[in-house]
Chains A and B, each alone.
Chain A
Amino acid sequence: DARVTQTPRHKVTEMGQEVTMRCQPILGHNTVFWYRQTMMQGLELLAYFRNRAPLDDSGMPKDRFSAEMPDATLATLKIQPSEPRDSAVYFCASAPGQGASGELFFGEGSRLTVL
């Protein structure tokens, strides 16, 4: 059963620490999205990649957030330094190639708490 895998599922850290979240997209999917979900803002698109190249990261605070795809099986989202306002659930989603119907396949999320 193909699925998007995210690690860690839960992370508690202190303000100022670096946080790295990882995502393994479904094999063969070439488009990867990072979303952040909070009660106040709902689902926000942070960044997305196609064929490992960033297409849009306009939703990401550039001073502290960075997103990369070192290879086709791994996407990372880093926060350095972390702040309490970064507390949220971060979702990764993947999708098959261009021309498909637009459905996203979501991971179960990484719940981040910054104290």
Chain B
Amino acid sequence: AQSVTQLGSHVSVSEGALVLLRCNYSSSVPPYLFWYVQYPNQGLQLLLKYTSAATLVKGINGFEAEFKKSETSFHLTKPSAHMSDAAEYFCAVTSSGGYQKVTFGTGTKLQVIP
């Protein structure tokens, strides 16, 4: 079985401040981990993914995430928040080795304050 837990359903940051969205995973096999972003009235789009290569993964729009096996974490960060980053962010996990069920976290809504 696999699951992800996102800590904090809502996060507010000031424009220009560090963004940190937390995700912890549980998986009995080596996982693939993802962060997706959802803007209002749109589907989810991939921000970045970890597939057992480099543990520090860089994605689009200046986001990055670090896979820490010892902490079973895959937190999403961005050094400086922009107003356009306001959206909902989902962490997701699947098993490595081909397509299995993809399980999403409950999402974190990011508010950016001017």
Contacts and interface: CB of A to CB of B under 8 A. Distances in A.
A4 B36 CA distance: 16
**Residue of A33, A45, A48, A103 ringed by the most chain B CB atoms within 10 A:** A103
A31 B99 contact: yes
B107 A43 contact: yes
B45 to A, nearest CB: 7
B interface, how many residues as a size bin?
A: 20 to 34
Nearest to B107: A42
Interface string A86-115: 000001010100111111101111000000
A108 to B, nearest CB: 5
B67 interface: no
A98 B104 contact: no
B101 A102 contact: no
A93 B36 CA distance: 13
A98 B99 CA distance: 6
Interface string B34-66: 101000011111100101000000000000000
Interface of B: 32, 34, 36, 41-46, 49, 51, 90, 94, 96, 98-99, 101-107
Given A102-B49, A108-B42, 14 more contacts: A31-B99, A35-B104, A42-B106, A56-B101, A98-B98, A102-B32, A102-B51, A103-B46, A104-B102, A107-B43, A108-B41, A108-B43, A109-B41, A109-B43
Interface of A: 4, 31, 33, 35, 42-43, 45, 48, 50, 56, 91, 93, 95, 98-104, 106-109
The 8 A-B pairs with the shortest beta carbon distances in the complex, nearest first, are A106-B43, A98-B98, A43-B104, A102-B32, A42-B106, A106-B44, A102-B94, A101-B51
